[in-house]
Amino acid sequence: MFPSLVNLQQVSIVEILQTYEISSGEIVVFSFDIDPKKTADQKLWQVKRVIGLPGEQVIFRNSKVWIRNTLNQETILEEEYLRNNSSYKLGLKNYPEKDKENADFVEPVLEPNQYYLLGDNRTGSHDSRNYGAIARSLIRFRVIF
């Protein structure tokens, strides 16, 4: 999550109920490990930023992230947390056609209870660009500063 979070930085996390409404821009913690026999300490957790919400579509265009909402309106995602560092803007290496700098990469429309999560270090992050949208049931915590 660099540059927003650095290695060994301590943050507080809060467990979120399934009724909690997750917002775009929040930093959340999730795990693919759903083994009920494991404690939280035994699971591998990932920390990512919420980019796309249910019903939205994420589009990568000209090194920017765009969101197409349920009314088919597109807006550029303002990402001040990237500290205007262009090396964190897109991370085209996560796509098979990475040589097409100006090509649009359009993700599927998110289903109900699906979220599109990205790391802030876009060029080095393993995130929804690699493993797809994340089910709401896998998201357990949110980071608070």
SS3 27: strand
Higher pLDDT, 8 or 54: 54
- Which pLDDT tens digit goes with each residue over 105-138? 888 999 999 999 998 887 778 899 889 999 999 9
Q: Given this structure, which CATH class describes domain 12-144?
A: mainly beta
Phi, psi of 136 (to 5 degrees): -55, -35
CA dist 138 and 118 (Å) reads 15
> What number of other Cβ atoms are within 10 A of residue 36's Cβ?
4
Tell me the average pLDDT across 20-30.
Answer: 95
Where do the domains of the chain lie?
A: 12-144
SS3 140: strand
Residue type, 85: N
pTM of the model as a whole = 0.84
